[in-house]
Amino acid sequence: MAQSASMKTELLFKNPNSNPTELDIAKAKIANQLSLYCEKPRQGKRIFALYQLFSYYFFRSETKSFIAFKIIEISNKLIERYRENISLINDFMKSSEALDPVELKKYISYINNKDLVNFREGEEQINFFKQLLYYYDQRKNGKINISASVSKLNIAALKKIEEEAFECWLRLLDVNYELRNTIIGAENRKAIYYLSEKYVDLHTIIDGLKKETFKDLEKYRESIVKEYHDIMSNFSLPSGKLLDFRLFIQKKLESRMYEAQFLKLPAGNTITNDLVLLSNNCKEFKRQYLLSLKEITSIINHYKEISIRYQTFFTGEIDKMIAYIKESYVNLMNILFKKLHEAKTFLELKPIKFESYDLEVILQLEKEKIDQEIKKLKEKYSSILIPLISSLDSEIERIENKYCFNLNFVKNQYSALKNLQNKAIKAFIDRFNEEKEKIEEKMKQKKKILENFEKTIVSDTEKLVHQLKDECNTLCDDLLRENQYFWAKFNAEFNSESRKYLVRLYYEYAPYISSWKDGEEGWMNEYLILKLNAEYLRKIGSTVKHFSPEGKLHEKCAHLLDSYSNFFRNICLQRDEVELDSLLKLNTIPKIDYSKVEEKLNKSLEDLKNVHLECSELISKILNS
């Protein structure tokens, strides 16, 4: 364990790009003796990753911005596809010196068709999200003038996006919490690292000064002995008085050292009194902090109670509104059933029924219309699929001919192109079948109406009632969800703003009453103790330097301690500023400036338009040459 700690300390005090010097090793040993086991903060990559996550969730934490970034993501993917196609065309033109026009046109046709499915799907998705963005703005402004079917589709899509955006908002708060605490932790580690390094330097220098002082004291003692012998050599006394005179001279010379030690006592008493006074002042600061904390907390709780009353009131009003909406929809359904009953009564009195011959004629006419629509649909998709399949087959043939000796490459390319071909064909066939089913469904509905008008009315009424139920449930769920989202965000903002006051109050008093290092007093208390000790050493040094070499040691130590205390103060102030900034940002609910998002959205769509034109013009230029 000790070896592991020693290795960590060695990592602390050496340049990672070079071998440790003797000074580095000496510092590591001293740090080990002083139990200073710490290392440089290594959270840089984690902080960077958290910033990336923060940015991702931040721009998706609001519904409108979420939709905009969906468009940006799709647009960027299409831009990459277009640029890739332009690059492929240019590379093909450069790689082939003598270009066969037929082969070139086949390759260009392949490039033009290979991403057709992706481009069409991307364009449809962009248009859908644009429509959703428009619908969201209209809904916010209370202006919705679009068809019921489109509105229902938009409501379902918007509901899903709102849920995803709210989840992103919750994740944003979690990531923000992790990010700010990681920054504070890294700053704490950095502060401890620099203070430990400085402390080891201080300890090393003072050890050197102590050794020099011991040498000076030894020289001083030798000079006293020499002075004693010099004095005694100048006197010739009787043996009876010589002994007393020797003792007198010896005590007189030694009294300088005793006097130096005696002069330290008043300074020692002074610093003891100053430390007691400092401790009392810190206790007074803590008392004032607790009083201020109590006052601010009582104000926060007062406004919290008011917000809870409002929340309870508005939630109750929402419940009343939902009850009213449900009652209104029930009345509307009753009106529908009443109208249905009236219609059935009317049909019983005057039944509407087609003769079989007339019905066959009408259905035959409708069938011919349907067949024409399906024929047009087949022609539409044939005009897409035939060039697509032809261009992919041509590219497969070109690869097989050009790389016939590289079997592995041909095999991989053949497999990739076949997969692309199958995927594209399947996508367009699925679309054709969907449109065909819609056309045939219209025919079935018309036939159903003609064959049994009364049954159709009943079925349509039941379907409409079912839609009204769904609409009622959706509307009520939306109201409850909006209420939940609003109060969740309101409470988060209220708590954040409240904590900002507590953070600022704590920041003012923390240096005196609490420490970011567990189990210690506030750093200002430690700083003032260092200053008192430096002043104590300076006074002792100036007093005893005329009596002992020890005075110079005290003066030098005072200067070093004063320098260390200033360094200590600057490091702690910087750490506190980072902590305050991080805590304030932690307690700030991030809000999006949509104008910047809109600017990014417009730029992405403009880039897509430009690269599409560039690719189209390049293909047209080659095909028409």
pTM of the model: 0.72
Using 50, 70 and 90 to split pLDDT, how confident is the model at 231?
low
What pLDDT shows up at residue 51? 93
What value does the mean pLDDT take over residues 535-540?
Answer: 83
Tell me how far apart the alpha carbons of residues 610 and 117 are, in angstroms, rounded to a whole number: 20
Q: How many other C-beta atoms lie within 10 A of the C-beta of residue 150?
A: 11
Point out the least confidently predicted range of 37-51, 113-127, 387-401, 610-624. Answer: 387-401
The mean pLDDT of the chain is: 77
Sequence-distant (≥ 6) Cβ neighbours of residue 578 within 8 angstroms: 183, 184, 187
User: Of 403, 431, 451, which residue sits at a domain end?
Assistant: 451
Residues above pLDDT 90, as percent of the chain: 23
Sequence-distant (≥ 6) Cβ neighbours of residue 207 within 8 angstroms: none
In sequence order, what DSSP letters do the residues of 132-165 get, joined into one string? HHHHHHHHHTT---S-HHHHHHHHHHHHHHHHHH
Please say if the pLDDT value at position 288 is more than 70. Answer: yes
Tell me how far apart the alpha carbons of residues 32 and 2 are, in angstroms, rounded to a whole number: 8
What pLDDT shows up at residue 121? 85
DSSP annotation of 117: H
Residue 245, in any domain of the structure: no
The string of pLDDT tens digits covering residues 46-94 is: 999 999 999 999 999 999 999 999 999 999 999 998 898 888 888 777 7
Point out the least confidently predicted range of 195-204, 221-230, 283-292, 460-469. Answer: 221-230
What pLDDT shows up at residue 418? 61
Tell me how far apart the alpha carbons of residues 496 and 521 are, in angstroms, rounded to a whole number: 28
What pLDDT shows up at residue 377? 67
DSSP annotation of 238: -
DSSP annotation of 591: -
Residue 507, in any domain of the structure: no
Please say if the pLDDT value at position 16 is more than 60. Answer: no
Please say if the pLDDT value at position 355 is more than 70. Answer: no
Cβ contact 36:196 at 8 Å: yes
What pLDDT shows up at residue 433? 72
Residues above pLDDT 70, as percent of the chain: 65
Residue 386, in any domain of the structure: yes
Between residues 105 and 273, the one the model is more confident about = 273
In sequence order, what DSSP letters do the residues of 334-381 get, joined into one string? HHHHHHHHHHHHHHHHS-----HHHHHHHHHHHHHHHHHHHHHHHHHH
In sequence order, what DSSP letters do the residues of 178-190 get, joined into one string? HHHHHHHHHHHHH
The string of pLDDT tens digits covering residues 165-216 is: 999 999 999 999 999 999 998 998 888 888 888 888 888 888 888 877 777 6
What pLDDT shows up at residue 36? 75
Both tokens assigned to 466: 């079912």
Cα torsion 18, 24, 25, 31: sign: negative
Between residues 297 and 114, the one the model is more confident about = 297
Between residues 79 and 268, the one the model is more confident about = 79
Cβ contact 275:532 at 8 Å: yes
DSSP annotation of 35: T
What pLDDT shows up at residue 604? 92
What pLDDT shows up at residue 301? 93
Q: What is the Cα Rg of the chain in Å? A: 44
What value does the mean pLDDT take over residues 284-312?
Answer: 92
Instruction: Of 315, 306, 297, 300, give the one whose Cα is nearest residue 487.
Output: 315
Q: CA 596 → CA 162, 369, 589, 601, 609, distances in Å?
A: 21, 51, 18, 9, 20
Structural domain boundaries, residue 23: 1-39
The string of pLDDT tens digits covering residues 83-126 is: 988 888 887 777 765 566 666 777 777 777 777 778 888 888 89
What pLDDT shows up at residue 9? 40
Tell me how far apart the alpha carbons of residues 162 and 155 are, in angstroms, rounded to a whole number: 10
Cβ contact 12:193 at 8 Å: yes
Please say if the pLDDT value at position 39 is more than 80. Answer: no
What pLDDT shows up at residue 7? 39
Cβ contact 622:89 at 8 Å: yes
Classify each residue of 580-600 as buried b or exposed e, where b means 16 or more C-beta atoms within 10 Å of its C-beta. bebbbebbebeebeeeebeee
The CA-based diameter of the chain, rounded to the nearest angstrom, is 166
What pLDDT shows up at residue 6? 39
Please say if the pLDDT value at position 225 is more than 90. Answer: no
The string of pLDDT tens digits covering residues 470-504 is: 888 888 888 888 888 899 889 999 999 999 999 99
Tokens 């109670």 belong to residue: 305
Instruction: Of 562, 552, 507, give the one whose Cα is nearest residue 530.
Output: 562
DSSP annotation of 404: T
Q: CA 161 → CA 61, 133, 137, distances in Å?
A: 10, 11, 14
Instruction: Of 170, 56, 57, 59, give the one whose Cα is nearest residue 488.
Output: 170
Instruction: Of 117, 119, 114, give the one whose Cα is nearest residue 74.
Output: 119
User: Of 390, 424, 451, which residue sits at a domain end?
Assistant: 451
Residue 514, in any domain of the structure: no
What pLDDT shows up at residue 1? 33
Number of structural domains (the chain) is 2
What pLDDT shows up at residue 5? 39
3-class DSSP assignment, residue 24:
helix
Both tokens assigned to 3: 């070896």
Using 50, 70 and 90 to split pLDDT, how confident is the model at 256?
low
Residue 443, in any domain of the structure: yes
Using 50, 70 and 90 to split pLDDT, how confident is the model at 3?
very low
Classify each residue of 231-266 as buried b or exposed e, where b means 16 or more C-beta atoms within 10 Å of its C-beta. eeeeeeeeeeeeeeeeeeeeeeeeeebeebeebbee
Tell me how far apart the alpha carbons of residues 565 and 530 are, in angstroms, rounded to a whole number: 6
Tell me how far apart the alpha carbons of residues 499 and 441 are, in angstroms, rounded to a whole number: 61
Tell me how far apart the alpha carbons of residues 70 and 76 are, in angstroms, rounded to a whole number: 10
The string of pLDDT tens digits covering residues 501-514 is: 999 998 888 888 87
Residue 361, in any domain of the structure: yes
Tell me how far apart the alpha carbons of residues 261 and 256 are, in angstroms, rounded to a whole number: 9
Please say if the pLDDT value at position 530 is more than 70. Answer: yes
Out of 257-271, 407-421, 559-573, the most confident range is 559-573
Between residues 32 and 122, the one the model is more confident about = 122
Instruction: Of 356, 346, 337, give the one whose Cα is nearest residue 447.
Output: 356
Question: Directed axis angle between helix 148-233 and helix 116-140, to 10°?
Answer: 90
Residue 157, in any domain of the structure: no
User: Of 425, 451, 477, which residue sits at a domain end?
Assistant: 451
Tell me how far apart the alpha carbons of residues 534 and 573 are, in angstroms, rounded to a whole number: 20
Q: CA 466 → CA 330, 460, 472, 473, distances in Å?
A: 12, 10, 10, 11
Residue 625, in any domain of the structure: no
Tell me how far apart the alpha carbons of residues 62 and 578 are, in angstroms, rounded to a whole number: 28
Tell me how far apart the alpha carbons of residues 270 and 402 are, in angstroms, rounded to a whole number: 97
Both tokens assigned to 551: 């005075």
Both tokens assigned to 491: 């409470």
Question: Directed axis angle between helix 356-402 and helix 407-451, to 10°?
Answer: 170
What pLDDT shows up at residue 474? 80
What value does the mean pLDDT take over residues 286-315?
Answer: 92
Cβ contact 97:119 at 8 Å: no
